[in-house]
Amino acid sequence: MRIAARRNPAAQRTEMVRRQIRGRGISDPRVLGAMLSVPRHRFVPKGLERAAYADRALPIGRGATISQPYVVARMTSELRLERDGQRVLEVGTGSGYQAAVLAECGCEVFSVERVEELFQSTGRLLSELGYSDRVRLLHGDGSRGWPEHAPFDRILVTAAAAAVPEILFQQAGDEAVVVAPVGGPSGQVIRVFRRSDGDWKSRDVEGVRFVPLICDPTG
């Protein structure tokens, strides 16, 4: 019975949330529900499905990764999502897993991916899984954001830079929250920025390791 439960994706998700997410103090019901709902095993490359619910990041090709489940949950919870329909800009679509989690949290997601191969394959997968009405994708330089759809209620960056590009803050709405990994190869932290009365305040959450955010130098 225990072996069968480990092989059943729904049972694996339940165990993942119990041990890795709720067990580490995340209690936001939106986030917990989303992590239980999204079939993470569909977002990893073939051959890695058995590791989809493990407590670690996994490679997805082209130098990109699908983040550790706990990190996805923690960054999502730090967005402090308050209601359905909040507009979220995601910088770096990657596998599409984070975008699907945001959609399950009730968000309208605008996600930008610079690698065309990932943009194409992830777009097909999100459509197949029924997320195309809640997730819009753009092939381009995510460090520039998506100004045509600004302002955003929340912004989530899924690659690390020494500083969050200023243009992203310019696309944030009033009372917005920006969550991003900040730092370099020697160390990174999840940094949370919150706008209140026109001013930005920030705090560091915990150490992480992300792939670097690639910015177009001509931008």
Residue 31 located in a structural domain: yes
pLDDT digits (tens, 9 = 90+) for 40-64: 999 999 999 999 999 999 999 988 9
Predicted pLDDT at 201 = 96
Measured between alpha carbons, how far is 179 from 211 in angstroms, rounded to an integer? 15
Residue 213 located in a structural domain: no
Q: What is the number of domains present in the chain?
A: 1
Residue 215 located in a structural domain: no
> Which one is catalytic: 27, 37, 67, 121?
67
Residue 167 located in a structural domain: yes
Tell me, yes or no, if 67 is annotated catalytic: yes
Instruction: Say which CATH number the domain at 197 has.
Output: 3.40.50.150
Task: Indicate if the pLDDT at residue 216 is higher than 70.
Answer: no
Domain interval for residue 97:
2-208
CA 80, chain centre distance (Å): 14
Residue 105 located in a structural domain: yes
Residue 214 located in a structural domain: no
Measured between alpha carbons, how far is 126 from 134 in angstroms, rounded to an integer? 10
pLDDT digits (tens, 9 = 90+) for 175-205: 999 999 999 988 899 999 999 888 999 999 9
Predicted pLDDT at 161 = 95
Predicted pLDDT at 186 = 84
Task: Indicate if the pLDDT at residue 214 is higher than 80.
Answer: yes
Residue 163 located in a structural domain: yes
Measured between alpha carbons, how far is 35 from 44 in angstroms, rounded to an integer? 15
> What is Dmax (Cα atoms) for the chain?
57
Residue 97 located in a structural domain: yes
